[in-house]
Amino acid sequence: MACITIFSFVMPMFDFIFASDFNLINSSLALIIIAFPAFEALVRYFLTKKEYDPGKYFFDIPMNEKYIRQGIYYTLLILVILVVPFVRGQVYLSISQVIMSAIVWLLVSVGMLFVTQKYTRVHFMKDTIIIKGIDLRIEFPMNDPLRTNSGIYGYHAFSGFYIEGTELQMFLKDKEGHIKATLPQDKVQHIIAFLISKEIKRLQIHELNM
């Protein structure tokens, strides 16, 4: 709805956007690939910041999520908005413009996922786990299982956790998703004890597909 509103009421205020198909296509990609995730990131940041209480903070660790799904989302958006209209002859672009635009937006997408990975962390609090930072992932309401999404999770929401080396996986109940993070080598045993103290079961490898 935010994208539709901006496209319908804000973008028409700028004549250069509609001066050519090249400008329109790339402005649309900027809106969907940059502006919308940035708006979502801002909302996530303030919602998680509101619940973040330094007095209840224990420790935080980096995420270890592979953003294959988000990478596919970005690639599909570029294909649908840029490549498909060009192939169908619905927009007047040269092949070099299409290739250049596709490369630029793919690099922008990779950069946004890199920033997300670098600046979003898993914070363990007294009563909750808060995943917060600069989360520029684009999400669609497709009822997929959660994958280390920014948000607030009570310890009671987890059915168990599994640790292999320094890699942690925490599983939400009813197969609703998981959280993946990387533990400091010298803190592994302390974090295991901490999670067990929160009544979260440590799973063995044969229990992962239960």
In a domain, 113, yes or no: yes
In a domain, 20, yes or no: yes
In a domain, 103, yes or no: yes
Kindly report the pTM of this predicted structure.
Answer: 0.85
Residue 67, pLDDT score: 82
Residue 180, pLDDT score: 94
Q: Look at the chain and report how many structural domains it folds into.
A: 1
Reduce the secondary structure of the chain to three states and give it as a string: CHHHHHHHHHHHHCHHHHCCHHHHHHHHHHHHHHHHHHHHHHHHHHHHHHHCCHHHEEEEEEECCCCHHHHHHHHHHHHHHHHHHHHCCCCCCCHHHHHHHHHHHHHHHHHHHHHHHHHCEEEEECCEEEEECCCCCCCCCCCCCEECCCEEEEHHHEEEEEEECCEEEEEEHHHCEEEEEECCHHHHHHHHHHHHHCCCCECCHHHCCC
Please state, for a pLDDT cut of 70, what percent of the chain lies above it: 91
In a domain, 26, yes or no: yes
Residue 190: pLDDT above 80?
yes
Residue 209, pLDDT score: 64
Residue 98 sits in which domain range? 2-203
In a domain, 138, yes or no: yes
In a domain, 209, yes or no: no
In a domain, 208, yes or no: no
Residue 8, pLDDT score: 67
pLDDT tens per residue, range 13-33: 677 777 889 988 998 899 889
> What CATH number does residue 136 fall under?
2.30.29.30
Residue 3: pLDDT above 70?
no
Question: Average pLDDT for residues 40-57, to the nearest whole number?
Answer: 92
Bigger pLDDT: 77 vs 205: 77
In a domain, 68, yes or no: yes
Residue 142, pLDDT score: 65
pLDDT tens per residue, range 150-175: 999 999 999 999 999 999 999 999 87
